[in-house]
Amino acid sequence: MSDALDKRSLDSNSVGKIVNAAGSYGIALLLLALGALLQFTGVIHSFLSVQNMLNIVDTVALVGIVAVGMSFVTYSGHFADMSVPTTMGFTGYVCIELLRYGFIPAIIGALVVGLLIGLLNGFVVGKLRANPIIWTLAVNYVTMGVIRLIWVNKQIYPDMRGSGQEAVALFDNIYRFRFFNLIGLPVVILIILVIAGQFVMTKTTFGVKVKLTGSAFRAAKFSGINVERVIMAAFVLTAFTATISGLAVTSLSRVGAWYNGAGYDFKAVTAIVIGGMTLAGGRGSILGVLGGSLIIGILNNVMTLLGVGTFSQDMVRGAIFIAVVGVSAKSLRSLGRDDA
Amino acid sequence: MHRPGKKNLLALGDKFRIYILFVLVFAFMSLFAPRFFNVFNLTSLLKSISMNASVAIGFTIVMICGQLDLSIGTVITFAGVLVLGLQPSLGFTAAAVVAVIAGGLVGWLNGLLVTKGKINSFIVTLGTMTILQGAIYQFSGGNSISVSTPEAFVVSDFLGKSLIPLVTPRILISLILVAIMEFVLRRTRAGRNFYIVGGNRSTAWLAGIHTDRYTIVAFVLSSVGAAIGGVFSVLESTSATLKLGENSLMYVISATIIGGTAMSGGKGGVLRSVIAILTLEMLYTGIILFGLGNEVKIFIAGLILAYVVLYEAYATWKHEKSLGQRPELMKELAERAALAARPASAE
């Protein structure tokens, strides 16, 4: 009897999750329809072309990869990792600098640097309970300082450090390689990460621990969960995905520059929030976050085709971010599910 | 063993930590840094802090209220761009007033979203930061704005010329603002209420304080302070670059925490933050004077912020760990256990 009840409550939960996740996909579909409508009425052109759809998917991949990792930080109730932009920039620099020793060592070097930043964040926020936003912001400034100190404001190019042709070609292909000449490598990475992330978040003990840490920190701590390690893992995951995305962005622009990751922190948080994950922690899903990334990607694309400038897009994104956070907090409160 | 004398001295040292630090850094730089101790350098030192000083006033009050305002950097640039952009059509005074009011509106919006929308303050201000960033580029077209009309130079000369040695009108404005806010926070009931709101929100509410109203006012003060800083800085330099407020957030957060304002709220002071800003600026000027370059300066500034946040987190962690611990009791228990164990081991 109790088993059946448990099962039913679990079922209704997963149905709720699907509805929540479908919510963001519904909006994404609406945006697609809007784009199509605008094209049929002749306001914008080439929205429905294969090339444009590929463009959307490619940009979604870059944001989505970061968002998947960062959603673990948000899920654990630690809002966001503001050190993502310079983590992306720094790992790009490191990779290009190490290309002369071959492609694989360069990738490993970049990953190691990224993971070290993640470990540092995780230690200070998890163990010492520093304010996650302020601390990661500070790490962002420090990493920026390190970049400026080492490379003195210079940008570096993959082919100028005496690296082998082969390594450079491989590096260029991180972003440019396409399966069946269609689906880019970042997109495939994103899909793998989403599946893995969704699995980890819902089907493993670790995922449940993150959820409990996010929804009731003290309860999690006193029930014997090693919250410090959970939080550390969340930040390391963020740094890992930020590194991957940073390598893809660096490969795309073919230049190591400190501004390579600029804005990705905010884009990722917005994707997470639109995807139905609450900033209070413990609610949401990776599938929803993917939907949120799609919404951002399509919205950006439509706005660009409409001739809206990059800076106005920033304003729109910021306004949507605040609106979504406000509405979701309000609706949770009125449902009595959140006392925040 | 109580040694009250030593303890009091330590407590006193902790209380006046920032002033001691200030004197030490000042003495060190005066003795060792080349070309540090002269009227010209000290005046330019004061000039360069007068923007961040007025920003720090409001930021400290927000932090005393237990909130955080990440949008100050963009408010500075926004106000600066606005005043030079509007000046041809409105004239200097009206443009400056409009820019400060616009800054105040941003703060009001932040405060409303935090109190009525019940959203975390750094999430709200992260959003307004992005919106303002877009607005700045939109308004300026992505370029810095500069004016070179005669009136602009008159205003600039007036703000930058020394009244008495070390004090230019712009520095004086910042000093007056600091003095007023320090007085309000220390001596008036409204000022003390900010501390109560930050220290314990529900107690403040039960004591009949409009906690929401105080929080909103704190955010408005923060943005107005940032806007005033931006406006006067731009008026003196007659040009507004889009990087005007870029590093202010980093400087002001570190200075406020070094000054002893707690991130959890309810503790701190305006004057201490401003002294901390002065101390940091002396340090950065020293780095430049020692010939270490701008890169080192930015690196060290970031490192200081990280260290300060780390130290504060560590202190809180240690404090919370010691809560409810009773070392005497533990010692007694250990002794008792040792006594109980002795006959057992003898057998």
Q: Among partner residues B70, B134, B302, which is closest to A318 by beta-carbon distance?
A: B134
Which positions in chain A touch B71 (Cβ < 8 Å)? none
Q: Is the pLDDT of residue B1 over 80?
A: no
Listed in sequence order, the residues at least 6 apart from B227 whose beta carbon sits closer than 8 Å to its beta carbon are B75, B76, B78, B79, B99, B100, B102, B103, B104
pLDDT digits (tens, 9 = 90+) for A67-87: 999 999 999 999 899 999 999
Average pLDDT over every residue of B248-277: 90
Does the structure's ipTM exceed the value 0.90? no
pTM, 2 dp: 0.87
Q: DSSP string spanning A235-286?
A: HHHHHHHHHHHHHHHHHHHTSB-GGGGTTHHHHHHHHHHHTT--TTSS---H
pLDDT digits (tens, 9 = 90+) for A204-248: 999 999 999 998 898 999 999 999 999 999 999 999 999 999 999
Q: And the tokens for B121?
A: 């303050």
Coil, strand or helix: which one is B269? coil
Distance set, CA B347 to CA A204, B334, B336, B340, B344 (Å): 51, 21, 18, 12, 5
pLDDT digits (tens, 9 = 90+) for A287-334: 989 999 999 999 989 998 888 887 888 889 889 888 888 888 777 777
Predicted pLDDT of residue B9: 73
Query: How far A297 CA sits from the closest chain B CA (Å)?
Result: 17
Q: Is the pLDDT of residue A13 over 70?
A: no
A20 band by pLDDT with thresholds 50, 70 and 90? low
Average pLDDT over every residue of A138-166: 85
Predicted pLDDT of residue A233: 96
* Pair type for strands A183-184 and A178-179: antiparallel
Q: Which of residues 303-342 of B touch A (CB under 8 A)?
A: 303, 305-306, 309-310, 312-314, 316-317, 320
**Residue spans of beta strands (DSSP E) within chain A:** 178-179, 183-184
Question: Residue B91 and residue B93: Cα distance in Å, rounded?
Answer: 6
pLDDT digits (tens, 9 = 90+) for B314-332: 888 888 888 777 778 888 8
In chain B, which residue's Cα lies nearest the Cα of A280?
Answer: B120
Q: What are phi and psi of A256, to 5 degrees?
A: -90, 115
How many A×B Cβ pairs under 8 Å? 140
Query: How far B142 CA sits from the closest chain A CA (Å)?
Result: 9
Q: Is the pLDDT of residue B308 over 70?
A: yes
Q: Among partner residues A141, A309, A333, which is closest to B250 by beta-carbon distance?
A: A141
- At the second CATH level, the architecture of B35-297 is Orthogonal Bundle (1.10)
Average pLDDT of chain B is 88
Average pLDDT of chain A is 86
Mean pLDDT lowest among B190-199, B245-254, B273-282: B245-254
Q: Among partner residues B117, B126, B295, which is closest to A266 by beta-carbon distance?
A: B126
Predicted pLDDT of residue A18: 52
Predicted pLDDT of residue A337: 62
Do A56 and A298 contact (CB within 8 A), yes or no?
yes
- Looking at chain A, the whole-number percentage of residues with pLDDT higher than 90 is 46
In chain B, which residue's Cα lies nearest the Cα of A327?
Answer: B117
Q: Is the pLDDT of residue A256 over 50?
A: yes
Question: Residue A222 and residue B117: Cα distance in Å, rounded?
Answer: 31
- Looking at chain B, the whole-number percentage of residues with pLDDT higher than 90 is 45
B180 band by pLDDT with thresholds 50, 70 and 90? very high
Predicted pLDDT of residue A336: 66
By the CB < 8 Å criterion, does A108 face chain B?
no
Instruction: Write out the CATH class of domain A2-334.
Output: mainly alpha
Q: Is the pLDDT of residue B138 over 70?
A: yes
Q: Is the pLDDT of residue B60 over 50?
A: yes
* Pair type for strands A183-184 and B145-146: unpaired
**Domain locations in chain A as residue ranges:** 2-334
Average pLDDT over every residue of A179-208: 92
A8 band by pLDDT with thresholds 50, 70 and 90? very low
A182 band by pLDDT with thresholds 50, 70 and 90? confident
Sign of the CA dihedral with A280 first, then A285, A290, and A294 last: negative
Listed in sequence order, the residues at least 6 apart from B76 whose beta carbon sits closer than 8 Å to its beta carbon are B51, B55, B226, B227, B229, B230, B233, B244, B245, B248
User: Which of A156 and A164 is assigned the larger pLDDT?
Assistant: A156
Average pLDDT over every residue of B268-287: 92
Coil, strand or helix: which one is A146? helix
Predicted pLDDT of residue B230: 94
Q: Which of B109, B130, B247 to mutate against chain A (most A CBs within 10 Å)?
A: B130
Q: Which of A311, A320, A328, A339 to mutate against chain B (most B CBs within 10 Å)?
A: A311
Average pLDDT over every residue of B222-243: 91
Instruction: Report DSSP state, residue A124.
Output: I
Predicted pLDDT of residue A3: 44
Question: Residue A146 and residue A152: Cα distance in Å, rounded?
Answer: 9
- Looking at chain B, the whole-number percentage of residues with pLDDT higher than 70 is 96
Question: Residue A117 and residue B337: Cα distance in Å, rounded?
Answer: 45
Do A98 and A227 contact (CB within 8 A), yes or no?
no
Question: Would you give the distance in Å from CA A237 to the centre of its chain?
Answer: 10
**Cβ distance of B309 and A134 shorter than 8 Å:** yes
> What single-letter amino acid sits at B23?
V
Q: Is the pLDDT of residue B223 over 90?
A: yes
**Domain locations in chain B as residue ranges:** 35-297
Predicted pLDDT of residue A1: 38
- Looking at chain A, the whole-number percentage of residues with pLDDT higher than 70 is 91
Which positions in chain A touch B250 (Cβ < 8 Å)? 137-138, 141
Predicted pLDDT of residue B339: 86
Question: Which residue carries 């699907």 as its tokens?
Answer: A18
A9 band by pLDDT with thresholds 50, 70 and 90? very low
Average pLDDT over every residue of B59-87: 93
Predicted pLDDT of residue B277: 94
By the CB < 8 Å criterion, does B30 face chain A?
no
